Structure formats: structure tokens, C-alpha cells
Structure 1
Amino acid sequence: MSRSRTILALILVYMVFAVLMNSVGTVILQSIQSFGVSKAQAGTLEGFKDIPVALASFLLASMMPLVGYRRGIVIALVLVAAACAVMAMAEAFWATRLLFVCIGAAFGLVKVAVYASIGLLTDDRRSHASLTNVIEGFFMVGMWAGYWLFAAFIDSNDPGRLDWLSVYWVLIGICLLAALAIATSPLDESAARNQDEPITEGFLNMLRLTLRPLVLVFVLSAWLYVLIEQSIGTWLPTFNNEVLKLPSAVSVQMGSLFAGALAIGRLAAGLVLRVVPWHRLLAFCVVAMAALVLATLPMAADVAEGQVTGWSDAPAAAYLFPLIGLFMAPIYPVINSVMLSALPQHRHAAMTGLIVIASALGGTTGSMLTGVLFGAFGGQTAFYLSLLPMAAILVALHGFRRQVERNAAAPG
């Protein structure tokens, strides 16, 4: 019962950060309309979010066992609640940057704590992979809910109005509820420390991990995956609005199809992986992603202004393109689980720090690059160019599989 309670608390925390982290696409669209900023300026919000994620993970991940995972999560949630209050009251673009700096730094702590806690709550590689997929699946459920939560506060008839900022008062309440849930949940964190090693060695151990070929290939794979996911997820509401000509609120709502596809894909992956080897599943997923891009983006051409007023008359591309999330979904949690399962528990916090750093840098690169391409060549071309990192990750995953097999065959 105590284990289930802790897992539920971790899921709630992760869902809160799913809403906050993935709100950047909606906030980009609303910042362009409410604050009059350019696409290039709005695209920097991903950097304001992801660079603090990387810095927090790099500087603090190895110290998390000393601070305590639950305590670190509570601190992160309180910080974000305060930033949401500033965002709601300031009504200015600078506040969005401050908000995402705080969200990013907080998520850097939370992700390390959640992933390390999974190792404490599971006994073997199979259960680790299963719980990782479940928690990451609910992250996508939170992401899906976030689209609808924000859309409820957007006025499509006057999208430049600042009424949408009221959503942050709701998010403050959810953050404080999650903080209470995790603070009152039991978790034995003693196994997270190596009792024979000073905590001060943790930072150096994280750096030493990067010298291992297995870790290097994994980091490249994770970086490429997040680059693809964030380039699509962040700019999908703007793509819906400017290329498919959907109203602002509907553009955000239909972005939830991508999040829903990711959630279904990750939850289903736990079942599929029982009968299909992980490397075969992931190779199929990458090929299917590329096929969907080639099949659906031509449908987005030449949509007339004012032709779409709601879900019922949206073009087929608005429904079909977000299904790329179904195939994208298993990649990230699977490679994370395979990597962490290859290490002892007292290395999980340091390794998770590297995971978060690679993810943050990939997200920043993908979002900012897509923003530049979107502004220069249009949304269709920007999304077509996602085929390049898809080809690269297919090669990287093959290398990762070979390194995993070598690591398993190595003595000791």
C-alpha cells in the first residue's frame, strides 16, 4: 500500500510538470498574439526552459541523495508555484522567461528524483522498464490535459487578450497539492547512496560516466529523440494556427492529439515489450514516424483562410500528423530504462542527471532551430526537415544496442 501511494504521488508530481514543461508551445503562440513578439523571440522560451534544466541537473543531480528526493521535489514545486504567481500578475513577456527558468530548474531536480525513485521502488530490469513506461505515460496524460486546461482560458475571438494568464492561479493550487502528496508519502532512500563513497564524489562520478562508450551513444540517442519530440510538440499549436488556419483555441486543443498519442503509445509499449525485443520495436517506430511525416504533410498544403472554424471542419492533417506520437512514444522511456538498468542504484542519480542534460539540450536545439526554420521557410518545410534527425537516431539506436550487448557480455 505504501509503495502504491508513493508511486501515485510521483505520478501526480510528474503530471504537474508535464503541464508546465509542455505549455511552452501554447505560451509561444499566446506570446506572439498577446505580447507582439516575433517567432524568433518566442522560440527562445524553449532555451529559457531547457538550459536551466541542464544546469540544475549538472550541478545538483549528484547531490540529490544527500538533499533527499522527496525534499527536493517539494522545494521544486514551491519554486514553480511562486513563479506562476509572478506570471499571473506581471502580464509581460519577461515574466514568461522567468517562469520557464524556474520551471526548468525545478524539473531538473524533479526528474532526477523521480527516475532515481523508480530504482528504489523496483527489483529488476523488467519491473523497472514497466514502471518507467507507466510514469512517462502519465507524463503524457498530463501534457494532454495541459492543452485543454490552457485552451479553456483562451478567447479565439480575441486571442490577444490576457485572460489566459488566469490559468496560472489554477496551476498554483495543483502544485501545492502535489507538494503535500509527495511530502506525506513514504520512501526509503537509503539504498540510493553508496555507503563507502563520500557524497562529494558524486559529481565526479557523473563526469566519469561520460567516458563510457555505452553512455556516450545513449546520450546521443536521447539528445536526438528530444530534439525531434520538442521540435514537433512545441511548434504544433503554431503550425495548426498558421499553416492549417485553425482558430487559436482549437489549435491548442488539437495539439492535445499529439500528447494523447504519446500517452497511449507509452502505456501500450509496456505490453508490446513483453513479446517484442526493445531494439526491434524502436527501429520500427522510427521508420513509421518518417512514413507518417511523408504521408501527412502534403495534406497541409493550400488550406484557405477562414475555412476552418472548429474540429468538425479541420483538415485531415490536423488529425493524422499528431499520430506520430504513437510511434515516437516508446523510444525515450525504453532507452532510459535500458541505460539505468545497466548501472547500480547508487549511480542512478548521476546517470539521470546526464539524461536530463541531454534532453534539455536536445529540446532547446529542436525548438529554436524549428522556430528559425518556421519563420524563414514555413511550417511544412520545418516539419519535413525532422526527417534528418529521424535518420540519425535510427543509426544511433543501432549503436546503442551494440554497446548494451557488449556491456552485458563484459565480466563483472
Structure 2
Amino acid sequence: MFMMFAMTSDSVGEIIKEVKREFDVTNTQASLMHSFPMLGIALSGLFLGFLADKWGRKKTIIFGLFVFASACYGFIFDHVFVTLLSLMTLSGMAVGIFKTGALALIGDISTSTKHHTSTMNGAEAFFGVGAIIGPLIVAYLITQGVDWQWLYVLAGGLCTLLIVIALLIDYPTHQVDAKVTKRISSTSSFALLKNPYAMGFSVGAFLYVAAESAIYVWMPSYLLCDASSVNAVYHCYTEGVSRTLAIYSVTAFFILRALGRFVGIWMMHRFNWALVLMLFSIAIVLCFVGGLLGGKQVALYLFPLSGIFMSVIYPTFNSKGISCFPKHEHGTVAGVILFFTAAGAAAGPLIMGIVSDFFGGDAKYGFIVAAFFATILSLGLVYNFIVNPTARRLAVIEAQEYGGQEKI
């Protein structure tokens, strides 16, 4: 599921280039291809995240997959810009449903809070694989003269297969007291907005995704030598290696991010998660600032390199945030964190697009905004490492939900 979702969402940078050419829209308008689906994820995460706790994981996942597949098949019938935006928004709402179910399921199969974190990194690693496959498929379709919309049709077919698999698999028993289940509703999500643990990790997720999305949404535009020339867009990279990297920069970023997440499964079992996140966030800031000060020739290397350091941050935010709550609330808190995640993914590129348009369409100015988000995130993670505000809470949940006192 994570891989399938990433195939579509993380291909948006390549899709935006085609949309700008095909529909003759501005950076701000083109960024809606990313912002609207993220808005759909955000709203369904906040208002429908409770379904995983109320309906159970299996029913929620199957329902979300069904809606997603329906939206994907809709791409066959219409190529109008507004219609495409509507279908992408609907697909985003579906993702918010099945992903909260999947995130809650990870808690059901985990044996400790540390196991939860490593399992989350494993799931997100497959998201990283999908992020590699998606842009490659879009690039191949375009070179073959096939519309990029067929990526969604392919994802719809994979989604249909996932529905069949989900129907056949036995899920872990999710037992909740009937009185607790009756109280679960969308208001449960709003109650969590007052919780410092839910909000702390949610704000962190917002800042991280706002910075990360700059890479896969706007890096292809930033690295262009001549945005008006379709055939010579990378002519300023004279060496063969540099030109190849410019063409496949997003893929390089996703490969490094995926590899980092697989390593993160091992890393989070052995190292202090707060220390790792602090050091990696500082490295992200250095990559962004170095790429901006050094220009396109330096950004060509530093922007994709940031994928290594971004790899473990979001899965760990998700895991530790969810692990601060009892299992019967995992779906709801996952929805809240997902809301802020998608809000960051929607607002970040949109703000970057608006700022870039204000300064004449140069994507460099959007990346200055992204560097600001990354800097605020880094400062927050420095505070998290020094103060360690979640240590006691995670220890309590470890004892209550997992039957042990594992060192957090």
C-alpha cells in the first residue's frame, strides 16, 4: 500500500513539468496538482482517522483502497485540468483513510515502542521504493508518447489486487471495550489537538514534509537550465554524469531516501533516536543552504544527497507520536499526524510556488522558504534531544501496552 501511494504522490514533480506544458498554467496553478491531493489526505486524516479505531483496521483499509482505485480509474475518461485536480483530490482523501488504518495496524503487530519505530521505518522504506518507481514510470511513458495519466490507471490495477489480498488475510484481533468504541468519533481527533505529544510530533511532521516536498516537487524546475526550451533544458551541465544526474535527480533523491530507511530499521534499534534526528536535521539544513549558495551545479549533488538524512525523520516522528498513546487510539492519532503531514505537503510547495512567481518564476526563491522550514525543524530537534520531553510518556505506554519496560 505504501509503495502504491508513493508511485503517484512522489511523481508529482515530473507530472508538474508536463502539466505546465500541456495546460499552459503558472507555477502556482501547477502546484495545485500536489496541494489538492495533500489537502484531501489532510481532511480525511483529521475527520476520518477515527474509522480505524471504530470500524477496525481491515474494514477501513479495504474501504480506503476501494475509493482510491475508483479515483485512479477515472483518469481514463477525462483530460481536463479541473477534472484531473478533482480526481487527484479524491485519491488523496482515500489515502487518508487507508493509511490511518495501516498505521494503526503497525501498532497492533509491534511488540514494543522500539519495534514500532523500526517497523514504521520498514513500511516507509517501501514507500521509498514506490517513490523511485513512480517517476521512472512517468518518464518512460512520456518518452513513449503515452499520457502520464496512465500511471494512475496502473496504480488502480495494483490497488485492486491489494483489495483482494486484504480480503483474504487474517488481521490481528483489535479488541476495544464497547463503551470506548461508542465514544470514538471525529471529535476524538479534535480532542488530540490539545495534547502536547500529538501536537509536538504533528508540527514536526508539518515542517519536515514542507521541506522534503521542495525536493521532489520543485527540484526538477530549479535544476532546469532553460525552462522555455524543452529539448535543451539541461544544456548547462556539460559533463555526462552531471547531465544524467540532472535528468534523474528526483530518482537519485528517492533511491538515497529508500536506502536510508532500510538502514533506519537497524539504526533505530541501536541508537538514540533523538540524537539521530537532531544530527540528520542539521545535515539537511547544510544541504539546502549549500545548494542555494553554490547554485545549480552544487545543488545538483547536495539536494539529492539530503535524501539520506531525510530518510528516518518522518517514520520516527510517526512512530514516536503514535506510540505516546494507547493502541485503541492509534488510528485517531495517526489521522491527526497525517493531517499535519499532508498540510505541510500541501502548503509548503504552494508557498514556494507563490514566492517563486513573485520573484519572476525562479524556483531558487522557493527553496529559500524550504531552507527556512528545515532550519526551524532542526532547532526543534535540538530541543527534543536536550530536554527529551517524551521519555516518561513512552516508558508508561511501554509498560501498559507492550508489557515491559524497554529502554526508550
User: Would you call these one fold, judging by a TM-score over 0.5?
Assistant: yes
Q: 1:238 aligns with which of 221, 236, 242?
A: 221
Q: Is the 8 A contact 1:243 1:300 kept in 2?
A: no
Q: 1:224 aligns with which of 199, 207, 211?
A: 207
Provide the C-alpha distance between the structure 1 equivalents of 2:112 and 2:349, rounded to a whole number of angstroms: 36
Q: 2:198 aligns with which of 185, 209, 215?
A: 215
RMSD (CA atoms): 2.6
Describe how 1:318-397 pairs up with structure 2 within 5 A: 318-377=300-359, 378-397=362-381
Counterpart residue type for residue 295 of structure 1: G
Provide the C-alpha distance between the structure 2 equivalents of 1:384 and 1:22, rounded to a whole number of angstroms: 21
Q: Deviations over 1:86-135 (max 9, x none)?
A: 22331221232022111210110121011100011111112111110000
1:151 aligned partner: 139
Q: Is the 8 A contact 1:254 1:318 kept in 2?
A: yes
Report the Cα offset of residue 27 of structure 1. Answer: 2.1
Q: Is residue 52 of structure 2 the alignment partner of residue 70 of structure 1?
A: no
2:261 aligned partner: 266
SS of 2:279's partner is helix
SS of 1:80's partner is helix
Provide the C-alpha distance between the structure 2 equivalents of 1:82 and 1:203, rounded to a whole number of angstroms: 24
Report the Cα offset of residue 250 of structure 1. Answer: 8.2
2:390 aligned partner: 404
Report the Cα offset of residue 331 of structure 1. Answer: 0.8
Provide the C-alpha distance between the structure 2 equivalents of 1:408 and 1:82, rounded to a whole number of angstroms: 39
Provide the C-alpha distance between the structure 1 equivalents of 2:336 and 2:193, rounded to a whole number of angstroms: 8
Q: Unmatched 5+ residue regions in structure 1?
A: 1-12, 302-314
Provide the C-alpha distance between the structure 1 equivalents of 2:33 and 2:81, rounded to a whole number of angstroms: 10
2:159 aligned partner: 175
Q: Is the 8 A contact 1:91 1:162 kept in 2?
A: no
Q: Unmatched 5+ residue regions in structure 2?
A: 228-232, 236-242, 401-408
Q: 1:166 to 1:222 in 2, by over 3 A?
A: closer
Q: Deviations over 1:202-231 (max 9, x none)?
A: 433332222222222222111111111112
Report the Cα offset of residue 249 of structure 1. Answer: 11
Counterpart residue type for residue 23 of structure 1: S
Q: 1:190 to 1:171 in 2, by over 3 A?
A: closer
Q: 1:186 to 1:371 in 2, by over 3 A?
A: same
Provide the C-alpha distance between the structure 2 equivalents of 1:257 and 1:42, rounded to a whole number of angstroms: 23
Provide the C-alpha distance between the structure 2 equivalents of 1:204 and 1:22, rounded to a whole number of angstroms: 31
Q: 1:178 to 1:380 in 2, by over 3 A?
A: same
Q: Is residue 86 of structure 2 the alignment partner of residue 109 of structure 1?
A: no
SS of 1:190's partner is coil
Q: Is the 8 A contact 2:28 2:354 kept in 1?
A: yes
Q: Is the 8 A contact 1:86 1:95 kept in 2?
A: no
Report the Cα offset of residue 60 of structure 1. Answer: 1.4
Counterpart residue type for residue 184 of structure 2: E
Provide the C-alpha distance between the structure 2 equivalents of 1:354 and 1:207, rounded to a whole number of angstroms: 8
Q: Is the 8 A contact 2:122 2:261 kept in 1?
A: yes
Provide the C-alpha distance between the structure 2 equivalents of 1:249 and 1:227, rounded to a whole number of angstroms: 27
How much identity, in percent, do the aligned residues show?
A: 25
Report the Cα offset of residue 162 of structure 1. Answer: 6.0
Q: Deviations over 1:274-333 (max 9, x none)?
A: 3321111111101111112233344544xxxxxxxxxxxxx5643442110110111111
Q: Is residue 280 of structure 2 the alignment partner of residue 285 of structure 1?
A: yes
Q: Is the 8 A contact 2:125 2:262 kept in 1?
A: yes
Report the Cα offset of residue 50 of structure 1. Answer: 1.4
Q: 1:341 to 1:410 in 2, by over 3 A?
A: closer
Q: Deviations over 1:46-83 (max 9, x none)?
A: 22111111211122111223333223222322322222
Q: What is the number of equivalent residue pairs in this alignment? A: 382
Q: 1:94 aligns with which of 65, 82, 107?
A: 82
Q: 1:219 to 1:168 in 2, by over 3 A?
A: closer
SS of 1:44's partner is helix
Q: 1:183 to 1:236 in 2, by over 3 A?
A: farther
Provide the C-alpha distance between the structure 1 equivalents of 2:72 and 2:244, rounded to a whole number of angstroms: 21
2:230 aligned partner: none
Q: 1:348 to 1:231 in 2, by over 3 A?
A: same
Provide the C-alpha distance between the structure 2 equivalents of 1:138 and 1:323, rounded to a whole number of angstroms: 19
Q: Is the 8 A contact 1:63 1:199 kept in 2?
A: no
